[in-house]
């Protein structure tokens, strides 16, 4: 695959001709509803074998080859140039497909109102070929050790059709929010914990498609840190005996002493070494009730992951990744407004509607744009595109992580699934 950023005056015809592909192939790959209305700054995925790299100031054959883990002599031979010659900005080099590594991929799917919508099931089906796990969200615990039922109809059929495993997500959500007091009531009673595990095992056995039991306990009081670790230890012992893997979701920390109720009870070292794998929630730096920021800026994501691999094996880590962006009204006033979550596809539609050029933050590796709506209100949108997600895939390769976990299905991002399959072989169990 080739990523191409639309410039002023571009047309799909000229782009397709430059890469020896067809307009229809580009339209289909990017699901473009208005092919003749491209947005300046819009990133397109071009379906070709391999990709091209345009030389910039400071590049050399050696530095480019090293960046893509290739011998510079081979790169020179493929492009029919002298390996000892100077290369100049603007030169286009062809990079052939490289051997792909295998990773695990997961995506959460949250049916609202007790049943998955057709739009959510359609998006899940589109993503399923590129997923190891589908994770219906969520089975909610009760303080007596029982589970709130979850209707996963639809997901089971998709998993069987596309050879996905199901991940059984267990949360301490009550009345729509993660509840630290509910977690306390369970974690302070061994009897309740065993009843909870009895009920988890019974439900997993009833469904028959779950291979992993995933604990997403959040906002646990910090003084329950050891009790939470002990509960996960008990869960691993009992669930392994039943043939299930065990995983946990972890808040994005950069040190063991990081303060705050989201972080304190998550012991990276203890939990990371107990379970089969972890999902680190490396997103929500920009969030709905906070100030306008990129949702998962790669510089901050990398800080979290580099800390994590000092506490647990890299091959146990799934990097968390958002499938959405946010649209904020400006000027932002804390506590007075909520940003709306939007899909990458809808972000492009907004930019096209308001004739806004898409900009790109090279530090955060994230696209954004400004627009003024029909009521005269100024907005800023941070979202994801082919460039930002490719940067995350490159980070997974550099750190040799187990894979990636997406929050959440239902907000279309077709470029992501194409690039995921282009970069990796997806493990299927």
Alpha carbon of residue 273 to chain centroid: 23
Interatomic CA distance for residues 123 and 343, integer angstroms: 12
Assess whether the previous peptide bond of 138 is cis (omega < 30° from 0). yes
User: Span 34-44, mean pLDDT?
Assistant: 96
65, 68, 75, 261 from 53: Cα distances, Å: 11, 11, 11, 45
| pLDDT tens-place string over residues 127-143 | 999 999 999 999 999 99
According to CATH, what is the number of the domain 101-323+400-426?
3.20.20.80
Q: Is 376 helix (H, G, I), strand (E, B) or coil?
A: coil
Alpha carbon of residue 186 to chain centroid: 30
Interatomic CA distance for residues 260 and 282, integer angstroms: 16
| pLDDT tens-place string over residues 192-232 | 999 999 999 999 999 999 999 999 999 999 999 999 999 99
Please give the pLDDT value at position 114: 76
User: Span 174-203, mean pLDDT?
Assistant: 97
pTM of the model: 0.93
Interatomic CA distance for residues 162 and 220, integer angstroms: 36
- Of 129, 125, 105, give the one whose Cα is nearest residue 116: 125
Please give the pLDDT value at position 152: 94
Alpha carbon of residue 279 to chain centroid: 10
DSSP designation for 128: G
Q: Do domains 2-95 and 101-323+400-426 have the same CATH topology?
A: no
User: Span 172-184, mean pLDDT?
Assistant: 97
Side-chain-side CA neighbours of 208 within 13 Å: the count stands at: 4
- CA-angle at 187, arms to 184 and 190, nearest 5°: 140
Please give the pLDDT value at position 263: 94
Interatomic CA distance for residues 382 and 108, integer angstroms: 21
Sort strands 359-361 and 43-46 into parallel, antiparallel or unpaired: unpaired
- Of 345, 325, 342, give the one whose Cα is nearest residue 34: 345
Side-chain-side CA neighbours of 394 within 13 Å: the count stands at: 12
Q: Which is more confidently placed, 7 or 335?
A: 7
Tokens of 327: 């649209």
SS3 content of the chain, % helix, strand, coil (to 5): 35, 25, 40
Interatomic CA distance for residues 372 and 370, integer angstroms: 7
**DSSP calls for 332-369:** --TTS--PEEE-HHHHHHHHHHTTPPPEEETTTTEEEE
CATH 3.30.70.1560 fits 2-95, yes or no: no
Domain spans in the chain, listed from the N-terminal domain onward: 2-95, 101-323+400-426
63, 144, 382, 385, 391 from 365: Cα distances, Å: 21, 45, 11, 10, 7
Burial class (CB in 10 A: 0-12, 13-18, 19+), 202: exposed
- Of 101, 167, 135, give the one whose Cα is nearest residue 314: 101
Contact 253, 263 (CB under 8 A): yes
Average pLDDT of every residue of the chain: 96
| pLDDT tens-place string over residues 374-400 | 999 999 999 999 999 999 999 999 999
| pLDDT tens-place string over residues 227-278 | 999 999 999 999 999 999 999 999 999 999 999 999 999 999 999 999 999 9
Pick the catalytic residue: 28, 74, 181, 218?
218
**Catalytic residue at 218?**
yes
């Amino acid at each position: 695959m080739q990523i191409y950023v639309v410039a002023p005056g571009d047309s799909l015809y000229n782009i397709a001709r430059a890469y020896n592909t067809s307009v229809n192939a580009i339209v289909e790959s990017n699901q473009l509803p208005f092919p003749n209305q491209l947005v300046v700054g819009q990133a397109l995925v071009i379906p070709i074998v391999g990709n091209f790299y345009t030389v910039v100031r400071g590049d050399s054959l050696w530095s480019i080859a090293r960046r893509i883990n290739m011998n510079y002599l081979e790169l020179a031979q493929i492009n029919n140039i002298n390996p000892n010659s100077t290369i100049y900005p603007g030169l286009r080099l062809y990079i052939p497909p490289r051997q792909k590594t295998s990773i695990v991929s997961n995506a959460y799917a949250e049916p609202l109102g007790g049943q998955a919508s057709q739009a959510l099931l359609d998006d899940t089906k589109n993503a399923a070929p590129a997923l190891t796990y589908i994770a219906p969200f969520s089975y909610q615990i009760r303080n007596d050790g029982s589970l709130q039922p979850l209707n996963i109809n639809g997901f089971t059929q998709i998993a069987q059709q596309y050879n996905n495993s199901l991940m059984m997500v267990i949360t301490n959500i009550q009345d729509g929010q993660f509840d630290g007091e509910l977690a306390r009531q369970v974690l302070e009673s061994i009897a309740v914990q065993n009843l909870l595990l009895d009920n988890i095992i019974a439900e997993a056995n009833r469904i028959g498609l779950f291979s992993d039991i995933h604990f997403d306990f959040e906002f646990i009081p910090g003084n329950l840190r050891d009790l939470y670790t002990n509960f996960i230890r008990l869960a691993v012992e009992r669930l392994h005996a039943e043939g299930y893997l065990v995983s946990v979701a972890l808040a994005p920390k950069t040190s063991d002493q990081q303060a705050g109720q989201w972080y304190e009870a998550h012991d990276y070292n203890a939990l990371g070494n107990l379970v089969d794998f972890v999902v680190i929630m490396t997103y929500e730096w920009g969030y709905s009730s906070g100030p306008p920021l990129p949702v998962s800026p790669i510089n901050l994501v990398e800080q979290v992951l580099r800390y994590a691999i000092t506490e647990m094996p890299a091959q146990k880590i799934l990097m968390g990744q958002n499938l959405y962006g946010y649209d904020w009204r400006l000027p932002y006033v804390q506590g007075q407004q909520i940003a709306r979550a939007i899909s990458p596809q809808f972000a492009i539609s907004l930019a096209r509607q308001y004739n806004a050029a898409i900009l790109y933050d090279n530090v955060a590796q994230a696209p954004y744009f400004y627009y003024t709506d029909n009521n005269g209100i100024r907005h800023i949108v941070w979202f994801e595109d082919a460039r930002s997600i490719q940067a995350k895939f490159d980070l997974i390769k550099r750190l040799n992580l187990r894979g990636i976990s997406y929050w959440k299905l239902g907000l279309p991002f077709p470029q992501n699934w194409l690039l995921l399959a282009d970069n990796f072989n997806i493990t299927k169990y």
